[in-house]
Amino acid sequence: METRSFTDYLRGLNDAALLSLFEHRPDLMSPVPPDFASLAVRASSAPSLARAVDSLNAWQFQVLEASAAIKEPMSEKEIISVTDSSAKFVIPYLQSLALIYKSNDGYRLPHTLRDVLGNEPAGLGPISMAKLSMKKLEEAPEPSKKVLEKLVWGPPRGSVGDIRNPGPGIEWLLKENFLVPLDQRTVVLPRNVAIHLRGGKVHKHPVPNPPALEGRKVKQDLVNHAAIANIATLLRWCEEILNFWSEDPPSALRAGGLGVRDLRACAEHLGVEESCAAFIAEIVYLGGLVVIDNDDRVIPTHAFDLWLTQSAETRWRTLASLWLVTSRASGLVGRADSKNISALGPELDRVNAASTRKLCVVLLNENLELAPDATSFNALAQWRAPSRRNPGMQKDLISWTLREAEWLGLTGQGVLSKYGRNFSNQEDSLGIDKDLPKPVDHILIQSDNTAIAPGRLEVEIARTLDSIADIESRGGATAYRFSETSIRRGLDHGKTGEEIRDFLRKTSKTPLPQPLDYLITDVAKRHGRLRVGNTSAYIRCEDPTLLTQILSDKKIEGLPLRRIAPEVLICDLDAKDVIATLRNAGYLPAAESGTGVLLTAQRLNRAKSKPRPPRVIGEIERPSEDSLAAAVRTLQAGERSSHKQSALREIANNALGALPRTTANETLEMLNQYIKESQTLSIGYADNNGSATHRIVDPLSISAGSLIARDHGTGDVQAFRIPRITGVAPL
């Protein structure tokens, strides 16, 4: 089959080649194109080509860039001559991606690819149309040689004071056409001159081989021990931050996200840095365990309660899977150059975040028992997938990924753990439940009003203990402290003083100390003596002397209180604010309902709104084998139907002598082809009244949905709206 165009090349591909094309460029089958002409238009579009180019490693990109730097058609020998002998192994791969294709006279590039790569590939300027004798370069004066040395490796443009008086060095180069003037102050070094000066090569430093990864060896046992500790810590962090927000939900910013103060409070509560707190907040947000509800509160969902009932391995796998595919980068939070970016906010998405994360996991999986050096790891990652859409972020994304992988427990001491390896290989069992220490069902109460949890507590015991004690320190064992505030919190959650004592006696392996017993008795006795409800609010107490004390207390002078009875005060503020103010002043009020019933039920603040699934930008999932096979069948069936319709149109046109008729995709493809070949065309064009006429034009370019062409009838350059072109035929 004769290959005259990119479409002909695609038509000549067998089923295996089409499957490979769709597998490597899945955007081409979303949706499946109706025929090969449509496939060619999509495969040569700038967005699709940009995605394909981004998938190349550094050496593949250099070979493609070199191919764009030499004149079409090109042979394999020509490509190798300007690159390296190993380029012959890259060319077939570039063909499988349809970034280069073989026509009858040699290799060519899709017509839009040079625009995607830029006007100056590898720092090379435009090709000179003048006849040049490269031997004359040996006769160049010394000032001219210095100018060439500055321009040879790019950028190829240089500035001059005045093109009419450029100086002796530049003047000689302009005279011999070794420099080309662009305007009154700019000159450019032609591409063919630069390649000659580069010794016939396009790149100064070809990189056919990846850089070696350096680092230190770590035994796998040590890695796994560190990783399982990290996994247990992560799950505890997630549970603690959600319980913290359930107790006192923070308010979201007007622009969305978590405020700096609330993030700092989370970090202090967890005992971690703010960057780690932002990561944990993002992880639970991705898992749908917390949402920003309609009242702009950051509050846990009912999914959190279900998540707590699952096994540790299931909980961890859910969070790790979402972390791996999300386009949100929590490392942006708190950076000096991103002051307006907040955790849970809408501005954390980055187009190459997920692909960089997956690449780092792959590289760690390929180099087991090696804790990589940051510099060499960055170099290898940037060789494997040099980011061209967001190049300034890649180094940061790699650093954040390694840090977050350690927090997650994918790695231990910088090396991929067996849990991370099983996770990346999609094993059914990760081994987490087996290796995690069994949860303990007891605590050890000390004489100084503290308690030690010698390991991970069972869910119900941990939840009850969190409501009556504050975490003081974390580690292999967690230290809790009992205080007046924590006991009051437990009473607010529906516990009585006797129930708290029974829980502690039952759970503790050591006897209940007398000071703690007295503390519980004292707080329980005082709790609820003072009651607050809504009027906006009222304060009721059976002890009038306590109300008198409140009225004279300078700590609460800000409360607009008024006594309406010996045992009742009223206030214009909300009951919640009154309770908070009184507690800060050292009182222990309790809330009550409008009927006077003490509100001491356990409070599980949960959002009513459903969590939104995490957004993923810039990534297209690799299709399954069944989807690939179905796409090939659909494409071939559509091509047969399109060919039949084209034949019928041709018969009708020949019989009726009608205007040229082509489909929209055929029109666009032919226009691009004939613009490249500078061939005169006959087009059918519909005017404002709907009547179509013949136009003979010389096509120049396509811009903003219009064909820019010189009309032979008027001699002027005009814009023809492409939707109005009924068909295209060459003359």
Q: Dump pLDDT digits (tens) for 516-545.
A: 888 988 888 888 777 776 677 888 888 888
* Ranges 64-78, 364-378, 488-502: which has the least confidence: 488-502
Distance CA 220, CA 417 (A): 7
384-429 residue pLDDT tens: 988 666 666 788 899 999 999 999 999 999 999 999 999 998 888 8
The per-residue pLDDT for range 585-621, each reduced to its tens digit, is 888 888 887 667 666 545 567 777 666 656 666 667 7
Say which DSSP state 256 is in. S
Tell which wins on pLDDT, 653 or 516.
516
Fold match between domain 6-123 and domain 659-731: no
Q: What would the pLDDT profile of 445-462 be if each residue is shown by its tens digit?
A: 998 889 998 888 887 888
The predicted pLDDT at position 619 comes to: 66
Which residue in the block uniquely carries the two structure tokens 């040879």? Answer: 152
Q: Does residue 687 carry a pLDDT above 80?
A: no
Measured CA angle at 271 (ends 269, 272), to 5 deg = 115
CB–CB of 99/53 below 8 Å? yes
How does pLDDT run across 287-332, given as a tens digit for each residue? 999 998 888 888 898 888 889 889 999 999 999 999 998 989 999 9
Q: In what order do the strands lie in the sheet with 568-571?
A: 561-565, 568-571, 537-541, 530-533, 590-591
pLDDT of res. 139: 80
**394-408 vs 374-384: helix crossing angle, rounded to 10:** 120
- Domain ranges (residues) in the chain: 6-123, 134-197, 216-435, 444-522, 529-591, 659-731
Distances (CA, A) of 354 to 103, 317, 376, 418, 617: 37, 17, 21, 22, 9
Spatial contact of 244 and 284, defined as CB atoms under 8 Å apart? no
The pTM (predicted TM-score) of the whole model is 0.72
- For residue 215, the Cα-to-chain-centroid distance in whole angstroms is 27
Higher pLDDT pick, 493 / 193: 193
Query: Of 198-202, 356-360, 510-514, 626-630, which gets the smallest average pLDDT?
Result: 626-630
The stretch 84-103 carries a mean pLDDT of: 91
Predicted local distance difference test score (pLDDT) of residue 656: 36
Question: pLDDT, tens digit, for every residue of 228-286?
Answer: 999 989 998 998 899 888 888 888 888 888 888 999 999 998 889 999 999 999 999 99
Binning the chain into helix, strand and coil, the percentages to the nearest 5 are 50, 15, 35
> What is the rounded distance in angstroms from the CA atom of residue 269 to the CA atom of residue 160?
63
- What whole-number distance in Å separates Cα of residue 464 and Cα of residue 339? 38
Please, what sign has the CA dihedral across residues 130, 135, 137, 141? negative
Would you place residue 226 in the very low, low, confident or very high pLDDT band (cuts 50, 70, 90)?
Answer: very high
Residues 6+ positions from 705 with CB-CB distance below 8 Å: 721, 722, 723
The 10s digit of each residue's pLDDT in 558-569 is 888 888 888 889
582: pLDDT strictly greater than 80: yes
Mean pLDDT rounded to a whole number for the chain: 84
Residue 651 has pLDDT above 70, yes or no: no
pLDDT tens by residue, 124-168: 888 887 888 888 888 888 888 888 888 888 788 888 877 777 777
The Cα–Cα gap between 576 and 480 comes to 27
Which pLDDT score is estimated for 439? 82
Checking if the pLDDT of 647 tops 80, the result is: no
Q: What is the pLDDT of residues 103-121, one digit of tens each?
A: 888 899 998 888 888 888 8
- pLDDT computed for residue 280 by the predictor: 95
pLDDT at 649: 46
**Residue 554 structure tokens:** 């300078």
pLDDT at 543: 86
| Interval 178-186 mean pLDDT | 84
659-731 fold: SH3 type barrels. (2.30.30)
Residue 501: partners with Cβ closer than 8 Å, 6 or more residues away: 512, 517, 520
Q: Which of 217, 211, 266 is nearest to 238 (CA)?
A: 266
Architecture of domain 6-123 in CATH?
Answer: Orthogonal Bundle (1.10)
pLDDT for position 489: 83
